[in-house]
Structure 1
Amino acid sequence: MAEREGGREGRDRSPAGATASRPRGFRLDQPRPPRRRVLPEWDPEAFGRLSEKIARFLGTGRFIVWMTVVIIVWVVWNIAAPDVVRFDSYPFIFLTLMLSLQASYAAPLILLAQNRQDDRDRVNLEQDRKQNERSIADTEYLTREIAALRAGLGEVATRDWIRSELQDLVRELELERRQDGAGRPGQYAFPAERANRPPGRDADDR
């Protein structure tokens, strides 16, 4: 009896202990609140589309023309302008820094755009492969159906075959009736002599 009471007390204490170990305000029937993040969040798709636009612009002749014009104006301004308004004298260290910064950002953007293009190409190739498999399966199915139809048509009576059989049967009947007409009077050949047959019923037609 004591063991039973001890076990019951242990079972009664276990849920309380489990409940006590949970933090206050924790409920299983509600979603957990979002955690605060130190780093800023961004949409990967939006960032990827922006990187593709920048990469496409970097690969055009317009960007090369604009960059050439900016560099020429930069160099001419810092050479021909008065010393007071110059902001990057020779050897143009600030220009070199800007070009290096541009290259350091352009390379990852181009790689990101290439990765997105590779993912799209992979998806397109997978879809093309599945479409080719379905086309091959449909072609094989149609080939089997056509072969079955050809095999079935070999056993089906065609119109020409039925016509030839009927013609042979008519010839045989005409020959038999002519032979019967030659042995027994009152019989007529079939079908030419039957057309000249007088009206009325014969004894043989009964």
Structure 2
Amino acid sequence: MICQICRQEKDPAELMPAELVRPSVQETIRKVHPEWSGEGYICLSDLNRFRIEHVEDVLETEKGELSALEEEVVSSMKEPEIISKNVNLEFDRKLTLGEQAADRIAEFGGSWGFIGIFAGVILVWIIINSIALAMRPFDPYPYILLNLVLSCLAAMQAPVIMMSQNRQEARDRLGAEHDYAVNLKAELEIRQLNAKLDQLLNHQWQRLLEIQRIQMELMEAHVRKDRSGIYQPNSEGGVV
């Protein structure tokens, strides 16, 4: 058997009847090969190539220019590959030592452990300067040195927390893009699957009608035989 597109002889397992190709995909094929006919065969490699072109045309029509992410999804449909991945692991691999330290500091700064240690240090500071060193405290009331230490701590902690929040936003954005890519590929795959099922059901329905027509002719032949005792051809070429 020969493919209509590449004009090469292929194994029957690598070919699909042209009548089973989705009509919208056939229109895409006719743009490149006007001589395309609904009779004959097309190899699976050429069929997949035109399916990808059809998907690109649909996306460009519905959404305009394709983004890099959408082009990646379309290209992934050429092979049965999985695009699902753990974005958290990939994101963590790209973090520098300073970024990892900022995340650790921000994580510790927002924990109950930090609150407990911080409250304990302040309480000890006040006790030492109010009771233990009541005669000669190094930071007497109103604890100006303590206020300076707390201000410096807040000034250093704020940018560290902001860096961690920026990376969390980048992580969330990467996860959202990945979810969009997975959903887009799933939608395109479902569309193609529905189209294949429609074509298959239509083909099976035509075969069922043909079988039913033959059965009706056989039943008619049996009825005529019972009446006349002989078989005679009818005007439509069937058996009477």
Shorter-chain TM-score: what band?
0.5 to 0.7
Answer 1 or 2: higher relative contact order, Cα 8 Å, separation at least 6. Answer: 2
Q: Secondary structure at the match of 2:207?
A: coil
The correspondence for 1:124, drawn from 168, 171, 175, is 175
Rounded Cα–Cα distance in structure 1 between residues aligned with 2:216 and 2:127: 102
Equivalence for 1:171: 223
Q: Map 1:36-115 to 2 at 5 A.
A: 45-83=96-134, 86-115=137-166
Counterpart residue type for residue 202 of structure 2: A
Correspondence for 1:141 among 170, 192, 205: 192
1:157 paired to 2:220? no
Q: Cα distance, 1:84 vs. partner?
A: 6.6
TM-score (ref. length: structure 1): 0.58
Cα 1:178–1:169 change in 2 (3 A) is: closer
* Structure 2 residue matching 1:88: 3-state secondary structure: coil
1:153 is displaced (CA, Å) by: 2.0
1:155 deviates by 0.7
Q: Distance in 2 between matches of 1:160 and 1:148?
A: 18
Question: How many residues were matched structurally?
Answer: 138
**Residue 143 of structure 1, CA deviation:** 1.6
Q: TM-score if structure 2 supplies the norm length? A: 0.51
Give, in angstroms, the shift of residue 83 of structure 1.
4.5
Aligned residues: percent identity?
29
CA distance in 2, matches of 1:86, 1:165: 115
Segment drifting more, 77-86 vs 156-165: 156-165
Q: Distance in 1 between matches of 2:210 and 2:165?
A: 66
Compared CA separation, residues 134 and 127, structure 1 to 2 (3 A): same
Gaps in structure 2 of 5+ consecutive residues? 1-93, 232-240
TM-aligned CA deviation for residue 49 of structure 1: 1.1
Contact in 1 for aligned 2:108/2:114 (Cα 8 Å): yes
Deviation of 1:95 (Å): 0.8
Q: Which amino acid aligns with 1:99?
A: L
Of structures 1 and 2, the larger Rg is shown by 1
Q: Distance in 1 between matches of 2:209 and 2:230?
A: 30
1:201 corresponds to: none
Cα offsets for 1:40-67 (capped at 9, x unmatched): xxx9611111111111111112211221
RMSD: 2.8
AA of the residue aligned to 2:222: V
